[in-house]
Amino acid sequence: MEERNPRKPGVCFPWEEKIKELPKLSGDPELVRKVWEEIDLLGYIFIWHCLVSF
């Protein structure tokens, strides 16, 4: 049986997974995380809007 990594509600691509793909950050990593999570939430909301509206 395949184990699935559960995601928190409202998350498409968790920060913990995304940070592994990025090069070393030279700025404030907490600021980058906050912006990533806000943008990711917008994508999640858009997908749900499309599913519910049509």
Alpha carbons 22 and 41: distance in angstroms, whole number: 19
Largest CA distance in the chain: 43
What is the residue type of 17? E
pTM of this structure? 0.77
Is residue 36 within 8 A of residue 15, CB to CB? The reply is yes
Give 8's pLDDT tier (boundaries 50, 70, 90).
confident
13 Cβ contact partners less than 8 Å away, ≥ 6 residues apart = 40
Q: Where are the domains of the chain?
A: 28-54
Alpha carbons 7 and 12: distance in angstroms, whole number: 8
Q: State the average pLDDT over residues 11-36.
A: 94
